[in-house]
Structure 1
Amino acid sequence: MSAARPILIVEDDDALRQVLADHIASSGAFESFEAASLDEASQHLGAADARFDSIILDVGLPDGDGRDFCAKIRKQGHTMPIIMLTGAAEEGDVVSGLNAGANDYIAKPFRANELLARLQAQLRLFDTSEDATFTIGRFTFRPAAKLLIGPDKKKRIRLTAKEVDILKFLYRHANHTVSRQVLLDQVWGYNAGVTTHTLETHVYRLRQKIESDPADCRLLVTAAGGYRLDPSAI
């Protein structure tokens, strides 16, 4: 069982944007969200439940330069991989895009399979980097460092490797119930022979760390047959 990772495609060419969205979604690994302008992209990123694992960003957009937008959202703290698309492939254009904070730069016309491969490569790098951060309730979750960081940056909660794996998997399935058996299989392995009691013990300890009131769970809740993570809960 794998979660479809949300990808924001910012491209003003309607036909190209649709081709990209369809191709990326057809892999089964991603869910595509579309924006035809920087204003639409800002609305997507500013939504209360916004959660994008990567952005595919055109340089030439009707309401501004994608490179300026990239630099702007980097300053706002967005760390997800950004792949820029452009009709210009001169060295200076590539350098300016990378200096703005882009992770990769692809010149048009390009092959959709190549873009997909580069997207997957960037996500693999990001998932194991110190830059990978996710918001869970009032905490910033940094999987690579095995840390939950409080809103004042002073409170730091250490997590075990299994707690990190549980949180990461539930985050990928945010607001959807994940069965206990699926969690066991994904975190411990299909042939581990671990019982649900082991999982329940880890979840109990995790709740002691992340919930304001472990007796009234809001973030990591028990659902029919499993658990559900609501990252926007407090």
Structure 2
Amino acid sequence: MRVLLIEDDEALQAGLSEALAAQTYAVDVFARGELGLAALEAVAYDALILDLGLPDLDGLQVLRRLRARGHGLPVLLLTARSDWQDRVRGLDLGADDYLVKPFVLPELLARLRALCRRHAAAQHALIQLGRLSLDTAQQVASLGAEPLALTPKEWALLLDLCLSSPKIVPKRKLAQGLSQWDRDVSANALESHISRLRGKLVNAGLQLDTVRGVGYRLVARE
């Protein structure tokens, strides 16, 4: 995934770039709003991390312009401002979430993952695979006409697997999707969740494969 970071604080630029790269994101960094807007016209980004206090354009101006141009990518605002009204204006202008400085990197990464999941799900409001249907707007699953009861963790795993089907989803990516509940998800814990999910999909016309040493793959049975 490719992320655009518009932030003028050099130390924060470096820290965020390193943390994002460690999570396998490709990152482009700009210190000025005008340069960031120009990059948005040239590159298809998956998400934007936007500081409100920029030296040329205010972050809210950047946000207003990108939404006016039809860019629908998820936006995470960063602000050192204590004024709640700026945060409200940002959300009203189309930001998806915000963080107040100072913040901890694990929280930023978790919020970014959540934004990207919601955005991906919104592009696929109804997902159908085999007899399985996922209504991402309502976050409900069904097998044919019967509702399928899932825990929040099972829903997150199943959504990741369905959105990537028939490709393999790496264990690391699935574990990251569960980090909002458990910061460190062990391989055994992940396998336990997958095992329970596999049991619920017995009559779904699907096959949840373990690709040893790599990850998991959900495919429709022929």
Distance apart, 1:46 and its partner CA? 1.5
The aligned counterpart of 1:190 is: 209
The aligned counterpart of 1:103 is: 96
Matches within 5 A, 1:16-165: 16-28=12-24, 30-47=25-42, 50-129=43-122, 132=123, 143-144=124-125
Asked if the contact 2:78/2:101 (under 8 Å) is kept, the reply is yes
Question: Residue deviations 1:7-33, cap 9 Å, x none?
Answer: 1000011111111011111123x2111
Q: Quote the RMSD (CA, aligned, Å).
A: 3.1
Q: Aligned partners of 1:193 and 1:111: how far apart in 2?
A: 34
Q: Which amino acid aligns with 1:127?
A: A
Question: Residue deviations 1:78-126, cap 9 Å, x none?
Answer: 1111011111132212111111211111111111111111111111111
Q: Which amino acid aligns with 2:16?
A: L
Q: Equivalent residue of 1:42, what SS? A: helix
Q: Equivalent residue of 1:61, what SS? A: coil
Unmatched 5+ residue regions in structure 2? Answer: 128-159, 170-205, 211-216
Among candidates 4, 11, 16, match of residue 7 of structure 2: 11
Q: How many residues align?
A: 148
Residue 194 and residue 85 in structure 1: after superposition, are their counterparts in 2 closer, same or farther (change >3 A)?
closer
Q: Equivalent residue of 1:98, what SS? A: helix
Q: Which amino acid aligns with 1:105?
A: Y
Asked if the contact 1:184/1:190 (under 8 Å) is kept, the reply is no
Unmatched 5+ residue regions in structure 1? Answer: 133-142, 147-164, 170-181, 199-234
Distance apart, 1:190 and its partner CA? 3.1
Q: Equivalent residue of 1:33, what SS? A: strand
Q: Return the TM-score normalized by structure 2.
A: 0.58
Distance apart, 1:43 and its partner CA? 2.2
Distance apart, 1:42 and its partner CA? 1.7
Q: Return the TM-score normalized by structure 1.
A: 0.55
Q: Aligned partners of 1:194 and 1:98: how far apart in 2?
A: 38
Q: Equivalent residue of 1:122, what SS? A: helix
Q: Equivalent residue of 2:71, what SS? A: coil
